[in-house]
Chain A
Amino acid sequence: MKLVIAIIQPHRLDAVRDGLLAIGNEGMTVSEVRGYGRQKGHKEVYRGAEYTIAFIPKLKLEVAVPDERLEAVVEAIRKAAHTGKIGDGKIFVVDLEAALRVRTGERDNDAL
């Protein structure tokens, strides 16, 4: 099992969700996060004073997937989150040791 962690532009969330539903992937967790990469921050001007907004709002998606579905999920997220502009985000994949569905007690692939 793998955990896919995707940092995406907030306005791409619906597209990513549709893309994942289309390949039959159920379930994800979304958090509002702030950060920067190559995009750096941006500047805002209030009453003539410039403020540097170093951390830009992004969404962090976490999706747990069986190994065989990993490539499909990563590709679906990439396609849906892509705009071609700096700031589109990143996708990370990490090994997932165990999973457990709280309601039934099912484990690992059955719990995903």
Chain B
Amino acid sequence: MINGADTAWLLTASLLVLMMTLPALGFFYAGLVQAKNILSILFQCFAIAALVSLLWFAFVYSEAFSGTGAWIGDLQAAFLQNLPRDAVHPGTSVPESVFVMFQMTFAIITPALIIGAYAERIKFGAVLLFSALWLVVVYAPVCHWVWGGGYFAAHGVMDFAGGIVVHLTAGLSAIVAASLLGPRHGFPRTIQPPHAPWMVMVGAAFLWVGWFGFNAGSALKAGADAGMTMLATHLAAAAATCVWVAVEWIKYGKPSLVGAVTGTVAGLATITPASGFVGPLGAVALGVAGGLVCYGAVWVVKRGMRVDDALDVLGVHGVGGALGSLLVPFAAGLGVGGVALSRSVWEQFAVQGEAVIAVGVWSVAASFAIIATVKAAVGWRIGHEAEIQGLDFSCHGESGYHTNS
């Protein structure tokens, strides 16, 4: 039976999650790059949204959500051929069409997150081919394992809105892409600072709001679960923001806007897998943990590993997603408002750890293979001259700013 309230909420949540890519993530990333590359980032987000949508329709939705296989779905729902107007998604009270749409917006933002790693130096064709292959080989299978009734779903893994499916997969694939691409010209000594920090804030603000659709929408119904999820999501974002500001203030003597909004996104990524399972106190605790750990992780990737993950996809998203996923069993029992576990805390932790490790290994291994394929097929990195000139003009024949006109 289709429920009107549930359907209305999921329709709304789909809009919010699509807004996270168009334009939120675009602004968040575009403000961080140099002025000569702003359009390349915005265009990559836009292009991925369109390309993923068609692949989702063609067979990737089916690969993720159709059938009962442990490792991969079947092709029964390819081209959405068995989608009558009034079909109800199994186990919910929302139309199948709305579920397809809602999950499509997740499939769009996940490969778009990886843009941050290869920003300012990749071929546009490579972005398209990489995103398409990555969707088919990494995202859809992992989505099936965790949410589509596959192996980890059967083992009772707790990933409410995509700490593992979205943020861990994107973060680890991002670091592989960044290291195989090599650093941007001048990294780390003479690299240019973000060209528009205000734009980063605008993007993060839209992400913060959009994330309510991402997390509270994942309840798949309007009600108490969605309500507590939204509250938990918001509190974690606020806590992580405060932590990041405090750390920068102590360390550098000045708190920065870019730092504050990075903390917000780290908190949101951390709460994502736990958002539907914790109460307010657990959410704040996860936000604090996310702020601290992601701050350290960004530092380690840049200074320790010396990999030019240009916009910190691993440090913010990958680490936040993994941390939240591992802490779910502990955070659920903090204060009131959380859910009861179906097993002991440590048993659940073992399940979470197994899923994080398996998905992590698969994301890294598959990314190596995908990138080798992309390199052979269409090339990977743009030439030195094109990089210096900027991707906006060298790849797209446009300029982001005509300040004298």
Contacts and interface: CB of A to CB of B under 8 A. Distances in A.
Contacts of B69: none
A47 B191 contact: no
A94 interface: no
A97 interface: no
A45 B191 CA distance: 12
B256 interface: yes
Interface in B248-286: 248, 252, 254, 256, 258-259, 262
B295 A48 contact: yes
Interface string A27-47: 000000000000000001111
Contacts of B258: 46-47
B252 A47 contact: no
B193 interface: yes
Contacts of B191: 49, 51
Given A47-B258, A47-B262, A47-B312, A52 B190 contact: yes
B192 interface: yes
Which of A44, A46, A47 gathers most chain B CB within 10 Å?
Answer: A47
Contacts of B303: 48
A51 B298 CA distance: 16
B252 A45 contact: yes
Could you say which interface size class chain A belongs to?
A: under 10
B89 interface: no
A48 B302 contact: yes
Interface residues of B, number: 21
Contacts of A44: 193
A45 B252 CA distance: 8
Contacts of B197: 46
A45 B188 contact: no
Contacts of A47: 258-259, 262, 298, 302, 312
A45 B298 CA distance: 13
Nearest to A49: B302
Interface in B279-323: 295, 298-299, 302-303, 312
Interface in A52-111: 52-53
Contacts of A52: 190
B192 A46 contact: no
Nearest to A51: B193
12 contacts: A45-B256, A46-B194, A46-B256, A46-B259, A47-B258, A47-B259, A47-B298, A47-B312, A48-B302, A49-B188, A51-B191, A53-B193
Pick the 10 closest A-B CB pairs, nearest first. A51-B193, A48-B299, A46-B258, A45-B252, A47-B298, A44-B193, A46-B194, A49-B302, A47-B262, A46-B193
Given A45-B248, A49-B191, A51-B192, 7 more contacts: A45-B252, A46-B258, A47-B259, A48-B302, A49-B188, A51-B191, A51-B193
